[in-house]
Chains A and B, each alone.
Chain A
Amino acid sequence: MDGVTGRGKYVALAVLLLPSLAGMSLFYILPVISSFVLSFSKWDLLTPVQWIGIGNYVAAVQDPTVQQALRNTLFFIAGYLPAVVAIGLGLALLLNHKLPGRTIFRAIYFVPVVTSWVAVSLVWKWLLNPQYGLINFGLSLLGIKGPGWLFDPNWAMPGVILTTVWKDIGFVAVIYLAGLQEIPENLGEAADIDGASAWQRFWTITWPMLAPTTFFVTTISLISSFQVFDQVFIMTGGGPVGATTTMVQLIYKNAFSYSQMGYASAISWILFALIFAITLAQNLLQKRLDRSNG
C-alpha cells in the first residue's frame, strides 16, 4: 500500500477484504450470533420462537444424554489424540530420511487428508464389516476372530478412532516434517561426534526442538476432535446403543431430528466454552513450559 495514505488506505483495504468479509459474516458470524440468541429460546422451526431464559442450559447440564455424549467424545479424544500424534511423528521421521521415492510416499500419506469424509467413511465401513471386511479377514489369517466393530457397542468407537487416525496422520506428518526442517543439522552432527545413539539424539535434540510443532499439532487436533461428526454420522449414526453419539452428533439430533433448535444451540455453546477453556489452559501451560526452558 505504498503511496496510499490515511483514509484512502483503509478504504482500499475494506474494498479488497469485502468479498471474504461478506462471506464470513453471512456464513460464520451471523449464525454464531443467532445460535447464541436462540440458545435462550424454545424453537421447533415451524412455530414462533418462545424465550425461556437459561432454561436450556439448566436442562443440558442435567441431561444424561449430554453426559453420555461428553463421555463418548472424551473417549474418542483419549484414543485418537495420542495415536495420531505418535504415528504422525513416526511417519514424519521416516519420510525425513533420504529414502528413494519419498516424495511419492509423502503424497500417498497425504491423500486421505484431502479425501472427503463421506468417501473415507463408506470405505472404512466396508473394511470394518465383521463378516466380509478386509480387516477381520486379515485378523482371521492370524487366527484371531475379529470383533463386530461398528455393530458392537464396545468396538464401534475404536473403529471410528482407527478410521480417523488413518485419515489424519498425513496432516500431522506434514506439519512435523516442516518442524523437522527447522532443526539445524549441525546439532545432530555434533551429537554424532559425541557418540550419541539414535534414541539419545531423538530424545535430547529432536523432541525438544519439535516442542512448538507438537503444541500446534495437539491444539489443532484437540479442537477438531471435540467436533468429531462426519465419520460418526455416516459410519454409525451415533449407535449402537448410543456408543458413538458424540457432542456434535447429539447437537445435530436435537436440532434436526427433534426440532429443538434452542436446546441444540445451548449444547453448542457449552461445547464452545469447553473447547475454549481447554485451549486456554493448554496455552498457559505451554507459556509456562517455554519460560522454564528458556
Chain B
Amino acid sequence: MNIVHKSIAALLLMTAVSSPALAQTTVKYMTFSAAPNYIEELDATIAAFQASHPDIKVEYETQAFGEYFTKLQTLVAAGQAPDAFELNYESFVDYANKGVLADLNPLIAADAGFSTSVYNSTALAAFSQNGKQFGLVESFSNVVLFYNQDLFDKAGVAYPTAEWTWKEELDAAQKLTDAANGVWGDFAPIQFWEFYKTIAQNGGAMFNADKTEVTLDSPQNVDTLQWMVDKVNKYHVTPTDAETAGLSSEDLFRQGKLAMLRTGIWLLGDFVDNAKFNWDIQLEPGNTNKAHHFFSNGVAVSATSGNQQAAYEWIKFLTSSKEAVDIRVKAGWELPAVSDQAAVQGYLDLPKPEHREVVFQALDTAVTPPVIANWNQLTDIVGKELEAAKLGQKTPQQALADAAAAVKGIL
C-alpha cells in the first residue's frame, strides 16, 4: 500500500512538473526545397519561429524532390500526413482537387492583424481554388541564361544581350566550343520542362488554351525540337549524355567547361560559392518570342491534421515573416513571394552576379507549367519521346506525333 501511495504521489509530482512541456504542440513539416542545400537556413527559420512561439515545436523531415511526392502521397493514404507540407504548383492542383488540403480562409479570417496583402497577389492566387485558399505561397523561381565571362573573353565573343535570339546564341556557341579542351558552348537539357518553355520561345504550346486539344506536334514544336536536337547532334555545341557521362550540367559549369547554361536561379547561391571565375546572367534568347520558366512552391496544411492552428502559424511565419524572408533572400533559397519591395531590394543588392535584375525581368515573359490531371504520366510520356529524338531513334516529327497520340489517351 505504502509503495503504491508513494508511486502515485511521484507520478502526480512528475505530471505537475512536466505539464508546461506537455502543453507544447508539435507541428510536423515536410519539405523538398530545403534539402540538401538549405538545411541550415531551415533550422534558423525554425529557431526564429520557436523563439516567438514558445508553445509550438516544429519537427521537419526532408526528402529529395525526386522521391518527395511518392513519400507524401503514401503518408497521406496511410493517414499519417504531416501537419504542414510543401507543394510545388504542379502538384498543388492535384492535391487541392482531391480534398487533401485544409481551407485556410477561416484561419486567415480569425487572424486579427494579419492580411494576405503581404504576399504577391498573383502568386498567392495560384494556391487558391474556387475561392478557397488551400495554401500559402512560399517562394518562386525561374530559369535564366548563365554564362561564363572568362570563356567569352578568351574566345573573343561579345557577352549575350537581352536582344539575342537563337541565331546569335548558336553563332556564339560555335565559337565558344573547344572540343580539344572539353569546353562546350551551350547547354539546355532535352526533357519535358525545357521543352514546354522552348516551344513557347518559338510561339508553340503543348495544348490549346482550355487544354482540351493536344497541339504537341505542331510545326513550330517540331522545328523547336529539331533545334534542340541539332545543338547536340549537328552543331556539336552541346555534349551528348554519353559525353557528360553522369556529370550534371551544373557540375560542368562549375568546372568552367560550359560557356552558356540555361538553368534555375536556385543555383545562384551555389555558383556564387563554387564557380571560381567571372560569370553573369542574362535573359534567355528566344526565336520568335521571349519565354521563361516560372515555378512556384507553396505550403499547405493537411485536411486531417489535429494541429491546424499551430500548423497555420508555422507556414505563415515561414512564408511571410521578416525573419524568414531575410534568411531566404540572403541564402538565395529561391525568392520569397512577398509584396514588400525592401525584401526584393535586399536580393538585388547582393554583389554577385552583376545583373541580378534579370531574374525579375524574366517574370515579364513567364510560362507556367501546362498542368493536367495525369501530370506525372504526361511528363513521362513526353519525356520518353524527347529522349528518343535526342538519341536519334526517331525524327522530331515522329517523336512528337507519337507523344501527341499517347497524351490524347490520358487527357
* A residues neighboring B (CB under 8 Å): 44-47, 125, 129-133, 148, 151-153, 239-242, 253, 256-259
For B95, what are the chain A residues with a Cβ–Cβ distance below 8 Å? 46
Q: Cα distance A82–B384 when bound, in Å?
A: 31
Indicate whether A256 sits within 8 Å of B70 (C-beta atoms), given known contacts A46-B77, A241-B384, A241-B387.
Answer: yes
Asked if A125 and B246 sit within 8 Å, CB to CB, the answer is yes
Q: Which of B76, B100, B387 contacts A239 (CB 8 A)?
A: B387
For A45, what are the chain B residues with a Cβ–Cβ distance below 8 Å? 73-74, 76-77
For A46, what are the chain B residues with a Cβ–Cβ distance below 8 Å? 73, 76-77, 95, 98-100
For B98, what are the chain A residues with a Cβ–Cβ distance below 8 Å? 44, 46-47
B350 within 8 A of A: no
B245 within 8 A of A: yes
A172 to chain B, nearest CB (A): 31
- Minimal Cβ-Cβ distance residue in B for A132: B245
- CB contacts between A and B, total, < 8 Å: 61
Indicate whether A129 sits within 8 Å of B376 (C-beta atoms), given known contacts A44-B98, A45-B73.
Answer: no
Tell me which residues from 64 to 80 in chain B have a Cβ below 8 Å from any Cβ of chain A.
70, 73-74, 76-77
Asked if A257 and B242 sit within 8 Å, CB to CB, the answer is no
Q: Which of B74, B77, B374 has the most CB of A within 10 A?
A: B77
Indicate whether A241 sits within 8 Å of B388 (C-beta atoms), given known contacts A46-B73, A130-B245, A257-B70.
Answer: yes
Asked if B73 and A153 sit within 8 Å, CB to CB, the answer is no
* B residues neighboring A (CB under 8 Å): 70, 73-74, 76-77, 95, 98-100, 240-246, 374, 376-377, 380, 384, 387-388, 391, 393
Q: Cα distance A133–B387 when bound, in Å?
A: 23
- Minimal Cβ-Cβ distance residue in A for B377: A258
For B388, what are the chain A residues with a Cβ–Cβ distance below 8 Å? 241
Majority secondary structure, A binding face: loop
Asked if A131 and B243 sit within 8 Å, CB to CB, the answer is yes
Q: Which of A45, A152, A239, A253 has the most CB of B within 10 A?
A: A45
Q: Which of B99, B245, B388 has the most CB of A within 10 A?
A: B245
Asked if A130 and B242 sit within 8 Å, CB to CB, the answer is yes
Show 18 A/B contacts (Cβ-Cβ < 8 Å), sorted by A. Answer: A45-B77, A46-B77, A46-B100, A47-B99, A129-B245, A131-B245, A132-B245, A148-B240, A148-B241, A151-B240, A152-B391, A239-B387, A242-B384, A253-B380, A256-B73, A256-B74, A258-B374, A258-B380
Q: Which of B70, B95, B242 has the most CB of A within 10 A?
A: B242
Q: Which of A47, A241, A253, A258 has the most CB of B within 10 A?
A: A241
Q: Cα distance A101–B376 when bound, in Å?
A: 54
Q: Cα distance A257–B94 when bound, in Å?
A: 13
A32 to chain B, nearest CB (A): 19
Q: Cα distance A132–B246 when bound, in Å?
A: 10
- Minimal Cβ-Cβ distance residue in B for A149: B242
Asked if A257 and B245 sit within 8 Å, CB to CB, the answer is no
For B376, what are the chain A residues with a Cβ–Cβ distance below 8 Å? 257-259
For A253, what are the chain B residues with a Cβ–Cβ distance below 8 Å? 380
Indicate whether A241 sits within 8 Å of B70 (C-beta atoms), given known contacts A46-B77, A130-B242, A257-B376.
Answer: no
B31 to chain A, nearest CB (A): 20
For A47, what are the chain B residues with a Cβ–Cβ distance below 8 Å? 98-99
For A133, what are the chain B residues with a Cβ–Cβ distance below 8 Å? 245
Q: Cα distance A152–B392 when bound, in Å?
A: 11
Q: Cα distance A162–B133 when bound, in Å?
A: 53
Q: Cα distance A125–B246 when bound, in Å?
A: 9
Q: Cα distance A257–B384 when bound, in Å?
A: 15
